[in-house]
Amino acid sequence: MYQFELETAKSPDTLRRIVIEPVSRVEGHGKVTILLDDDNKVHQVRLHIVEFRGFEKFIEGRPYWEVPVLVQRLCGICPVSHHLAASKAMDMIVGGAQLTPTAEKIRRLMHYGQMLQSHALHFFHLSSPDLLFGFDSDVAKRNIVGVAAANPDVAKKGVLLRKFGQEVIRVTSGKRVHGTGSVPGGVNKALTPEERDYLLKDADQMVAWSRDAVRIIKQLHRQNAALYDSFGLVPSTMMSLVGPGGELDFYHGALRAKDKDGEAIFDQVSYQGYNTLLTEGVKSWSYMKFPYITALGDENGWYKVGPLARIQNCDSIPTPLAEEERKEFEAYGNGKPQHASLAFHWARMIEMLCAAETIKSLLVDDDMLGRDLVASGPRRSEGIGVIEAPRGTLFHHYRVDDDDLVTYANLIVSTTNNNTAMNVAVREVAKKYLSGRELTEGLLNHIEVAIRCFDPCLSCATHALGKMPLEVSLVDAGGTVIHRLTKGEDGEIRS
């Protein structure tokens, strides 16, 4: 596995430890530890995921039809992604993998609404303060309130783009967050003409504002190319789903991976074999796993997923405006893959434009008003569903017994796929900007900026392999510990 230490000559016991906790403006809880010597030279940098969520275990024993709704509780930012990935897995269980045209297009509309709202949230609310004001700007100003005060038009567009995406989700799934629209084998509602017209009246505006967002990030790149082309440089393999013609497809496809130079490693590989294609490595200092391509080994097989991988892995984007922007993105890199972490934002906005264009085209499709909503066929005991979530490729894998109860669940979420790449980005930023300097809040924010480029969802990504050390304390109203139990790494419980 990639080494996360910069220097190994000194014992960690002799070094000073700096902790960034929590990492701000991301979904979930994480921290970064930095080990420095007396000259402030950085010796080690690690991104730790410090929360544990046991979804894969407590899904076991539940009826399979509950799973698409249950797994959404992994996250309030990207619940649709889990909802649909689980539904795709359960489609196989009920023999409904070949959906009706209406069901597939309703799901696609729901998913592209999710892509739109999530990308808008991340760019405008979480990342734009750094990009518009500077990484070491006044921390009191470096937030969405500061953006609204200094750039009210930009903030307004960000808020309304996200609102539109949430409305698409509400119309297709019943609720803006944790809806129930997708069921094994299809969906439980189609659009009414009134719902379609309600969304369609704002669709052109959303496309226009998405184009504005692409222009903003392109301008930032060109104004400060020295920073944007080198910050958090992570040359790596890139993996994503692509359609049968190599086109960008967020909802379905086969797996493609390219190396850091853009050369194919594999292409059009069915995701049904993901568990032999990928290995989930573990580290003792994080609850998030470290996946890698098995054939390449843990040292060379790690990769990144998400917008930067998808835009460069695909051969084309099916919507005309986004395809035009993809070609410009490709030309900016002189035809070579871009690996600087800040390029994630440019790719993300191209994807947001693609989502807005796709939503508009789906809304005028007659199948959206159909009433043939559910497919079925011969039952199976195992299902695998994969989708491109806003943050990258998302795997859901389930087995079900004869009583329709889940006996096995495994999830590899987008942020987990990016785990090594995020750690490498943090390491490179620390080496370039922090090492040997007197640390300030602004310099430490450079570390957080690198993490935010990946738009991590740390809540989604946390699960452990094997036995988890745990401590539970019972405290009375006065704050006195009445009783304490601990479970060690050996699984032994002690009082």
450 and 398 fall within a common domain: no
Decide if 295 is inside a domain. yes
- Residues 423 and 390 grouped into a single domain: no
Cα angle for residues 52, 57, 58 (degrees, 5° grid): 95
d(CA 422, CA 303): 10
- Rounded percentage of the chain residues whose pLDDT exceeds 90: 68
The residue-averaged pLDDT of 36-54 equals: 74
* Residues ≥6 apart with Cβ < 8 Å to 256: 239, 240, 241, 242, 246, 264, 266, 267, 268, 269, 313
Query: What is the extent of the structural domain holding 464?
Result: 12-50+418-468
Residues 213-234: tens digit of each pLDDT: 999 999 999 999 999 999 999 9
pLDDT of residue 468: 38
- Residue 495 belongs to some domain of the structure: no
**pLDDT band of 34, cuts 50, 70, 90:** confident
Q: HEC string of 200-215?
A: HHHHHHHHHHHHHHHH
Residue environment code for 15-36, b if the CB has 16+ CB neighbours within 10 A, otherwise e: beebebebbebbbbebebbbbb
Residue 306 and residue 359 in one domain: yes
DSSP secondary structure code for residue 26 in this structure: S
For residues 339 and 259, state if they share a domain. yes
Q: How far is CA 328 from CA 116, 312, 321, in A?
A: 21, 12, 11
DSSP string across 307-376: HHHHHHH-SB-SSHHHHHHHHHHHHHTTTSPP-BTTHHHHHHHHHHHHHHHHHHHHHT-GGGG----B--
In this structure, is residue 475 part of a structural domain? no
Separation CA 111–CA 104 (nearest Å): 10
Instruction: Tell me the residue type at 73.
Output: R
Q: Are strands 42-49 and 30-36 parallel, antiparallel or unpaired?
A: antiparallel
Average pLDDT over every residue of 483-493:
53
Count of other CB atoms within 10 angstroms of residue 252: 20
- Coil, helix or strand at residue 1: coil
Domain at 344, CATH number: 1.10.645.10
Q: Are residues 434 and 334 in the same domain?
A: no
What average pLDDT is seen over the chain? 88
* Shared domain check, 443 and 378: no
Q: CA 275, CA 436: separation in Å to the nearest integer?
A: 43
Spatial neighbors of 287 by CB under 8 A, at least 6 apart, are 49, 50, 51, 52, 462, 463, 464, 468
The answer to whether 172 touches 181, Cβ cutoff 8 Å, is: yes
Q: What is the pLDDT of residues 307-319, one digit of tens each?
A: 999 999 999 999 9
Q: Give the start-end residues of each E strand in 362-464.
A: 382-389, 392-400, 406-412
Cα dihedral 272, 418, 462, 456, rounded to 10, equals -120
pLDDT in tens, 123-142: 999 999 999 999 999 988 99
- The tens digit of pLDDT for each residue in 99-121 reads 999 999 999 999 999 999 999 99
Both 32 and 101 in a single domain? no
Residue 485: how many CB atoms within 10 A of its CB? 12
Say yes or no: 112 and 191 in one domain: yes
Neighbours of 333 (CB within 10 A): 15
pLDDT of 286 reads 75
Shared-domain flag, residues 425 and 289: no
Q: For 378-406, how does the pLDDT look when each residue is reduced to its tens digit (9 = 90+)?
A: 999 999 999 999 999 999 999 999 999 99
Q: Do 46 and 62 fall into the same domain?
A: no
Model confidence at 460: pLDDT above 60: no
Cβ-contact 203, 176 below 8 angstroms: no
Considering only residues 198 and 433, tell me which one the structure prediction assigns the higher pLDDT.
198
Looking at the structure, tell me whether residues 206 and 354 fall in a common domain: yes
Could you tell me if 314 and 447 lie in one domain? no
Task: Identify the CA nearest to 447 among candidates 1, 86, 11, 136.
Answer: 136
- Would 348 be classed as within a structural domain? yes
Does 492 reside within a domain?
no
Confidence label for 484 from pLDDT (cuts 50, 70 and 90): low
Location of structure tokens 């074999």: 273
Residue 476 lies in a domain: no
Number of independent structural domains in the chain:
2
Q: Decide if 364 is inside a domain.
A: yes
Question: Closest Cα partner for 104 from 317, 251, 250?
Answer: 251
Which is more confidently placed, 17 or 470? 17
User: In this structure, what token pair is assigned to residue 325?
Assistant: 């922007």
Residue 143 tokens, joined: 């937030």
Q: Residue range 166-189: average pLDDT?
A: 93
Q: How many CB atoms lie within 10 A of CB 53?
A: 19
Backbone angles phi, psi at 38, to 5 degrees: -65, -20
Regarding pTM above 0.75, the answer is yes
Residue 436 inside a domain? The answer is yes
Sheet arrangement for strand 30-36: 16-20, 30-36, 42-49
Using alpha carbons, select from 358, 352, 362, 360 the residue that is nearest to residue 325: 352
